């Protein structure tokens, strides 16, 4: 059988991959990778070309094929695909765990580091070897046999639990539907949301309108629906997803407890006092205490602003909206009303100008002006008809990399937005392997033949994910383990993405990427000025919300004792400390917190704020030299983006800025400067 997962000759054949291909492909690639490992264990003398390259060749093919399966599982989930994914996950996890703790390979890398050849390596190859030695230690290579087996068993169980956690959230989200037959209950909702709800009901053969927990429906209901009961119904359903309040098979309660316990045990096996300590071994931050102090320092600066935001909102809701008590499902709605009253600024009004083709054109123009590259449409086999494909070329027309864009929400697709790599840059004997990345969002689709319109926060999301993509696409490094995002400290990974968001606030850029959905007119200057005035609206509230998540994550993975405490109690104590908008006691936020229970952010959620310090400070370099965009952009590309993980993030930053990072720009950008 011709198996598309075994074809690495060109672009992935996403249109041909079926669940039946997964098992045979993974088995074949595992066998090849295991044979390569066996050979690498004894190869002598240990050289780069005789040891590192063949090992990377075989493992890269396996990870690339599995990456395609993981990707499909996230964007076109079906029962058949999930079954095949879950059946193969343990095998792949076992291989990864065995690789990480292979003592013979560890010894070979040590021999390479001690060899005469090593002395002649450039800094990039040296970094690869240093990281490999560190990762073997963190992977349990120095453990005794019994501990190794336990370590591998923990990793396997954690992989299955994380997958189950994410699948439960997806299933609980997709299962909810509220059919509304009385149109008056939809008052306040944007016309395109009503039209999409009508189409969704028709598709189900039902009268009226279908409301769901997908973001293009859920957020507008929370923000615009005049019907308080409707807002409450969706808020409640959203807050109880994947908890004991729903079907037992989707309840994440046990998964959370088990994940936390296993992570603690894994860290203890390696001699760390907590999982947070283990997690920080590969990050910029040095210790859990340093992270907690950073978050609490930021909380002390932000809380006065957050409390003021809350007091203003309560007063407005009472005096103008007749709400004696502000409930959680009122907050987004009342905030939108206050914003409109204060700034004559409506998200919905602004959204009509950000039509998807214009936004994409504006985004690509920013990339071109910053880095001197061209983004062009391209063609490739795709997994869904909505997916687009693009190529990035340098000034001489040479291909640098390609990317997929999957913009719209749909059933069977994980919520949120993310970038992932499909193939990384690598120098091969036959030339350069160019990077290939996925950019995934969950925007609402255009209706009635009109283009999709993006809320301003969706515009910044697109710029954010593209920033991650550029980190991968514009790398100049040819060694896989440190090319693009590989090898970059996790708490610095958000620097290029958050940095890109700043360009959404420059008038010339905004003007160029707006065209009203009906008239084609660009965004008027006076409306942009109102947007600017509203930029830091409730920035205090937003900041402390992020700090709540970051503190919860770090405390959970550093100081939490399940014998004395519960996860929900811990969250309530964190809320006592920093929250100004309290979720109700029945709300089950942890049960949906996929970032830390199913993504890579365990003991790492603080990274968003940590990297925000770096990104605000990096953008300040452009503010300080307004007439030198291309020169500053070229320096950012040279010192940060192109370097990947070949140098520490702090070295990269200092090479760009000429100094250590400062928090001043972040506070200024958020309107919280003293």
3-state secondary structure of 281: coil
- Mind telling me the catalytic residues? 465
Does residue 258 contact residue 264 with C-beta atoms inside 8 Å? no
d(CA 327, CA 232): 9
The structure tokens listed for 75 are 């964007």
3-state secondary structure of 431: strand
Backbone phi, psi, residue 188, to 5°: 95, -25
d(CA 253, CA 567): 9
d(CA 304, CA 24): 59
Backbone phi, psi, residue 76, to 5°: -140, 60
- Could you tell me if residue 402 is left (phi over 0), alpha (psi between -120 and 50 degrees) or otherwise beta? beta
- Could you tell me if residue 580 is left (phi over 0), alpha (psi between -120 and 50 degrees) or otherwise beta? alpha
d(CA 495, CA 93): 29
Residue 564 carries which DSSP code? T
Does residue 36 contact residue 55 with C-beta atoms inside 8 Å? yes
The structure tokens listed for 41 are 């264990």
The structure tokens listed for 359 are 């936004």
Please classify residue 34 by burial: count the beta carbons closer than 10 Å to its beta carbon, then call 0-12 exposed, 13-18 middle and 19+ buried.
middle
Q: CA 163: distance to chain centroid? A: 16
d(CA 418, CA 609): 17
The structure tokens listed for 435 are 């990077």
- Count Cβ atoms below 10 Å from residue 444 Cβ, excluding itself: 24
d(CA 438, CA 209): 33
d(CA 489, CA 483): 13
Q: What is the 3-state secondary structure (H, E, C) of 600-669?
A: CCCCCCCHHHHHHHHHHHHHHHHHHCCCCHHHHHHHHHHHHHCCCCCCCHHHHHHHHHCCCCCCHHHHHH
Residue 354 carries which DSSP code? -
Distances (CA, A) of 489 to 546, 609, 611: 20, 14, 10
Pairing of strands 431-433, 426-428: antiparallel
d(CA 477, CA 645): 9
d(CA 211, CA 320): 28
The structure tokens listed for 544 are 């402390």
The H-or-E segment that residue 399 falls in is strand 399-408
The structure tokens listed for 513 are 């990427």
DSSP-derived secondary structure for 154-222: HHHHHHHHHHHHHHHHHHHHHH--EEE--GGGGTT--HHHHHHHHHHHHHTT-SSEEE-SSHHHHHHHH
First-residue to last-residue Cα distance in the chain? 67
């Amino acid at each position: 059988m011709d198996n598309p997962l075994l074809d690495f000759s060109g672009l992935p054949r996403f249109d041909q991959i079926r669940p039946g291909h997964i098992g045979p492909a993974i088995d074949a690639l595992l066998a090849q990778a295991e044979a390569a490992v066996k050979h690498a264990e004894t190869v002598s003398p240990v050289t780069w070309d005789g040891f590192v390259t063949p090992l990377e060749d075989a493992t890269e093919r396996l990870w690339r094929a599995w990456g395609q399966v993981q990707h499909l599982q996230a964007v076109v989930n079906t029962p058949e695909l999930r079954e095949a994914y879950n059946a193969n996950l343990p095998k792949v996890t076992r291989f990864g765990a065995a690789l990480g703790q292979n003592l013979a390979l560890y010894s070979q890398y040590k021999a390479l580091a001690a060899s005469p050849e090593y002395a002649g390596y450039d800094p990039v190859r040296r970094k690869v070897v240093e990281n490999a030695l560190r990762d073997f230690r963190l992977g349990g290579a120095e453990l005794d046999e019994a501990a190794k087996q336990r370590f591998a068993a923990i990793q396997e169980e954690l992989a299955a639990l994380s997958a189950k956690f994410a699948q439960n959230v997806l299933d609980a989200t997709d299962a909810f539907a509220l059919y509304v037959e009385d149109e008056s209950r939809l008052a306040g909702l944007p016309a395109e949301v009503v039209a999409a709800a009508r189409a969704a009901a028709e598709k189900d053969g039902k009268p009226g309108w279908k409301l769901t927990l997908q973001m293009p429906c859920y957020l507008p209901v929370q923000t615009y629906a005049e019907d308080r009961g409707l807002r409450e119904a969706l808020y409640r359903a959203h807050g109880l997803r994947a908890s004991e309040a729903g079907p037992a098979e989707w309840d994440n309660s046990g998964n959370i407890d088990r994940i936390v316990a296993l992570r603690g045990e894994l860290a203890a096996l390696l001699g760390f006092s907590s999982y947070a300590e283990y997690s920080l071994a590969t990050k910029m931050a040095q210790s859990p205490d340093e992270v907690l102090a950073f978050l609490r320092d930021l909380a002390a600066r932000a809380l006065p602003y957050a409390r003021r935001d809350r007091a203003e909102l309560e007063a407005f809701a009472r005096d103008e909206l007749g709400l004696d008590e502000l409930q959680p499902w009122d907050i987004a709605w009342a905030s939108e009303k206050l914003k409109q009253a204060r700034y004559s600024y409506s998200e919905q009004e602004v959204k009509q100008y950000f039509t998807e083709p214009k936004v994409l054109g504006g985004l690509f123009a920013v990339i071109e002006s910053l880095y001197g590259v061209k983004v062009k449409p391209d063609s490739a086999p795709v997994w869904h008809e909505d997916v687009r494909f693009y190529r990035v070329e340098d000034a001489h027309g040479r291909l640098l990399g390609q990317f997929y864009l999957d913009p719209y929400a749909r059933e069977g697709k994980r919520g949120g937005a993310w970038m992932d790599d499909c193939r990384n840059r690598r120098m091969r004997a036959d030339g350069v392997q160019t990077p290939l990345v996925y950019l995934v969002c969950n925007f609402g689709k255009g209706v009635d033949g009109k283009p999709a319109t993006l809320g301003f926060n969706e515009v910044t999301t697109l710029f954010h994910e593209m920033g991650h993509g550029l980190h991968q696409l514009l790398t100049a490094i040819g060694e896989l383990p440190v090319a693009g995002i590989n090898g970059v400290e996790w708490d610095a990974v958000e620097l290029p993405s958050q940095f890109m968001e700043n360009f959404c606030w420059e008038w010339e850029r905004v003007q160029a990427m707006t065209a009203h959905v009906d008239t084609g007119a660009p965004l008027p200057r006076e409306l942009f000025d109102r947007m600017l005035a509203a930029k830091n609206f409730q920035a205090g509230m937003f900041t402390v919300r992020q700090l709540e998540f970051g503190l919860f994550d770090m405390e959970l993975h550093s100081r939490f004792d399940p014998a004395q405490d519960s996860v929900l109690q811990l969250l309530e104590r964190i809320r006592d400390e920093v929250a100004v908008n309290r979720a109700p006691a029945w709300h089950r936020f942890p049960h949906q917190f996929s970032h830390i229970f199913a993504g890579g952010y365990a003991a790492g959620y603080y990274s968003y704020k940590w990297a925000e310090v770096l990104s605000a400070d990096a953008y300040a370099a452009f503010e300080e030299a307004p007439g030198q965009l291309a020169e500053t952009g070229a320096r950012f590309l040279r010192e940060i983006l192109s370097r990947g993980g070949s140098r520490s993030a702090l070295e990269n930053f200092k090479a760009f800025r000429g100094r250590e990072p400062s928090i001043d720009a972040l506070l200024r950008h958020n309107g919280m400067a003293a």
